[in-house]
Amino acid sequence: MCRRNGASSSVTVYGSLVQVGLPEGDTIGFTKRTGTVFDPEVGMEFLKLTYISTGGSYAMTDEDGNTVLFTRVTGTAAGKYFPTSVTVPGSNQTTTLGWEKVTVTGKEVVRPTRMMAPVQDGVNCTTLTRGCRALTFTYATTTTATGTAESAWGDYTGRVKEISFTAWDPDLATPAMRTVPMAR
């Protein structure tokens, strides 16, 4: 999204000011012009931010029509929104993202759980079935690392333990959904 600025990681609302956070830690500021339309900071005029009252979400669109939808994650603080879908214009292709709020070593953390590739009409991916393609993020529940030598490497509580890819595998003896670890 937003080819000039990379992906967006969150939206934070401060009254009539809205800040879109970028992964590198920078922000893009928007100020309320009317009830649901916001003006971007100088130099970012190619971006449009709109509040969607029916879903309680924000949509940011760039000059090419790429749109990121930001919604609240259950249990998170008021005024904080996370990207839940990215739509590319003209293709009817939407990538969706799932999030969770958890407490890790006494701190509240919001982290991604799944990224779902666009699906064809008529395919329901509530349960991953043929036509669904997903990256799933699994987090460590305990610390197993004991040192800095490679033999002592391990997991750290709350950090990514594994990223896996799930899709239909027609090459299995009995074709079915298959999950393959991509990174550990």
Integer Cα distance of 174 and 135 in angstroms: 22
pLDDT digits (tens, 9 = 90+) for 47-103: 999 999 988 999 999 999 999 999 999 988 889 999 999 998 877 789 999 999 999
How high is the pLDDT of residue 40? 96
As to burial, measured by CB atoms within 10 angstroms (0-12 exposed, 13-18 middle, 19+ buried), residue 81 is: buried
Q: What is the gyration radius of the CA atoms in the chain, in angstroms?
A: 19
How high is the pLDDT of residue 120? 86
pLDDT digits (tens, 9 = 90+) for 121-143: 889 999 999 999 999 999 999 99
How high is the pLDDT of residue 173? 95
Q: What is the mean pLDDT of residues 29-39?
A: 93
How high is the pLDDT of residue 1? 45
Is 139 in contact with 130 (CB distance < 8 Å)?
Answer: no
**Residue 114: CB atoms within 10 Å:** 16
Q: Comparing C-alpha atoms, which of 64, 81, 59 is closest to residue 13?
A: 81
What pLDDT band is residue 7 in, cutting at 50, 70 and 90? low
How high is the pLDDT of residue 25? 86
Q: Answer yes or no: is pLDDT of 5 > 50.
A: no
Q: Comparing C-alpha atoms, which of 47, 48, 10 is closest to residue 26?
A: 10
Tokens of 38: 């916001």
How many angstroms separate the most distant Cα atoms in the chain? 59
What pLDDT band is residue 44 in, cutting at 50, 70 and 90? very high
Tokens of 153: 């490497």
Taking the model in full, what pTM does it have? Answer: 0.85
Integer Cα distance of 119 and 107 in angstroms: 35
Integer Cα distance of 86 and 100 in angstroms: 18
Q: Answer yes or no: is pLDDT of 4 > 60.
A: no
Beta bridge pairs of residue 130: none
Q: What is the mean pLDDT of residues 10-32?
A: 92
Q: What SS3 string covers 9-41? A: CEEEEECCEEEEECCCCCEEEEEECCCCEEEEC
What pLDDT band is residue 2 in, cutting at 50, 70 and 90? very low
